[in-house]
Amino acid sequence: MTEAGITPHGGLPPFLSGVLAEEAGAQTDLLAQDPPAVDAARAAEVALRFYGISGEIEPLAAEKDANFLITLTTGEKALLKITNAAEDRAVTDMQTAALMHLAAADPELPVQRICASLNGKAAEVATAADGQPHVVRLMSFLGGTVLSNATPQPGLYHALGDFHARVTLGLRGFFHPAGGHFLQWDIKQASHLRPLLADVQDAALRQQLQHRLDQFDAETAPRLPHLRAQIVHNDFNPHNILVDAPQAQYPVGLIDFGDMVHTPLACDLAVACSYQLGQGADPLGAICEMVAGFAARLPLEAEEVALLPSLIRLRHATTLAIGASRARRYPENAPYILRNAAASQRGLAALDQVGDAAAIKALHHAAGTE
Return per-residue pLDDT of the chain as tens, 370 residues. Answer: 445 566 565 555 555 545 444 443 345 555 556 789 999 999 999 999 999 999 999 999 877 899 999 999 999 999 999 999 999 999 999 999 999 999 999 999 999 999 999 999 999 999 999 999 999 999 999 999 999 999 999 999 999 999 999 999 999 999 999 999 999 999 999 999 999 999 999 999 999 999 999 999 999 999 999 999 999 999 999 999 999 999 999 999 999 999 999 999 999 999 999 999 998 889 999 999 999 999 999 999 999 999 999 999 999 999 999 999 999 998 888 888 888 899 999 999 999 999 999 999 999 999 999 8
pLDDT tens-digit map of 169-196: 999 999 999 999 999 999 999 999 999 9
3-state secondary structure of 177: helix
Our measurement of the distance from residue 317's CA atom to the centroid of its chain's CA atoms, rounded to an integer in Å, reads 15
Describe the crossing of helices 302-329 and 203-215 by its angle, rounded to 10 degrees: 140
Asked if 99 and 110 touch (Cβ cutoff 8 Å), the reply is no
Q: Measure the CA–CA gap between 88 and 12, rounded to whole angstroms.
A: 35
Beta-carbon contacts of 218 under 8 Å, excluding residues fewer than 6 positions away, are none
Write out the E strands in the chain: 55-60, 66-72, 77-82, 124-127, 133-140, 145-146, 151-152, 229-232, 241-243, 247-248, 251-254, 261-264
Looking at residue 119, what is its pLDDT?
A: 93
Our measurement of the distance from residue 314's CA atom to the centroid of its chain's CA atoms, rounded to an integer in Å, reads 14
Write out the E strands in 161-291: 229-232, 241-243, 247-248, 251-254, 261-264
Looking at residue 17, what is its pLDDT?
A: 42
Beta sheet of 77-82, edge-to-edge order: 55-60, 66-72, 77-82, 133-140, 124-127
Asked if 66 and 43 touch (Cβ cutoff 8 Å), the reply is yes
Taking CB atoms within 8 Å and a gap of at least 24, the contacts of 12-20 are 18/221, 19/188, 19/189, 19/191, 20/180
Nearest of 232, 280, 223 to residue 101 by alpha carbon? 232
DSSP code of residue 227: S
Amino acid sitting at position 317: A
pTM value surpassing 0.85:
yes
DSSP code of residue 218: I
pLDDT tens-digit map of 231-273: 999 999 999 999 999 999 999 999 999 999 999 999 999 999 9
Q: Measure the CA–CA gap between 316 and 14, rounded to whole angstroms.
A: 33
